[in-house]
């Protein structure tokens, strides 16, 4: 596989990973970097990934041939839970080989692949494998999504320690300004705090804003 796959994770389920993934893909495509998104494991859906739908909407494109082939949504489970539980309830183990093959095909067809995870870094994929350990195992550089809601500083710093401990390359932190909040006091302070922290402890990591996306 080419070294062009970036794993997208975040502080928790509601960090806005899908919005951020779609936004970054749109930006890269507009700058001449042919980019496709893939939903690693989708839960809470049947037959189709709603997160891929959202990616395409934000990217401003229709469904791709890879979407129709199922390459961008290789594993879908019906119950809206973490992958380890959703796969157990559907009585179908996660096929990691299928996921890897799909990612490899996308990697060959496109310049870049944004591989969106499910939930936060510590979400269990199986009873023995966490999302963060899968990222480390596959040696994917990480794009990490955080936001300005109350508690984000705590969640972000805990995540950064776990990332550093496992030797994962933190390529980019995306600071999500979506959804819009009226009182931006906490949002602005959190943004400045995290940006300063990264400059001190992760000087090679990019810090980018995901703007309020207009529907």
Which parts are annotated binding residues for ATP?
14-19, 51, 116-119, 211-213
Which residues, listed in sequence order, are joined to residue 6 by a DSSP beta bridge?
114
Q: Catalytic annotation on 149? A: no
CB 170 within 8 A of CB 206: no
* Closest-CA residue to 22 (of 37, 43, 40, 5): 37
The torsion angle over the Cα atoms of residues 134, 139, 144 and 150, rounded to 10 degrees, is 50
Token pair in block for residue 213: 């996306």
Residue ranges for the known binding site are 14-19, 43, 51, 116-119, 211-213
Name the catalytic one among 2, 33, 39, 149: 39
Q: Which residues contact 104 (CB under 8 A, 6 or more apart)?
A: 1
For the packed helices 185-201 and 152-165, what is the interaxial angle rounded to 10 degrees?
A: 20
Q: Which residues contact 213 (CB under 8 A, 6 or more apart)?
A: 19, 23, 58, 178
Query: What element of type H or E holds 57?
Result: helix 50-59
Active-site positions read: 39
């Amino acid at each position: 596989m080419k070294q062009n796959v970036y794993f997208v994770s975040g502080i928790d389920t509601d960090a806005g990973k899908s919005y951020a993934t779609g936004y970054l893909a749109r930006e890269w495509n507009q700058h001449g970097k042919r980019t496709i998104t893939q939903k690693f494991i989708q839960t809470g859906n049947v037959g189709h990934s709603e997160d891929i739908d959202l990616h395409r909407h934000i990217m401003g494109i229709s469904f791709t041939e890879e979407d129709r082939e199922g390459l961008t949504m290789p594993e879908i489970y019906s119950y809206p839970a973490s992958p380890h539980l959703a796969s157990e309830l559907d009585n179908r183990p996660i096929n990691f080989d299928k996921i890897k093959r799909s990612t490899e095909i996308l990697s060959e067809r496109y310049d870049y692949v944004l591989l969106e995870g499910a939930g936060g870094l510590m979400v269990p994929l199986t009873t023995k494998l966490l999302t963060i350990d899968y990222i480390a195992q596959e040696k994917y550089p990480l794009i990490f999504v955080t936001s300005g809601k109350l508690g984000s500083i705590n969640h972000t710093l805990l995540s950064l320690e776990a990332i550093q401990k496992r030797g994962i390359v933190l390529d980019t932190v995306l600071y999500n300004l979506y959804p819009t909040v009226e009182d931006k006091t906490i949002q602005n302070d959190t943004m400045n705090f995290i940006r300063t922290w990264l400059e001190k402890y992760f000087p090679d990591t990019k810090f980018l804003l995901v703007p309020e996306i207009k529907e």
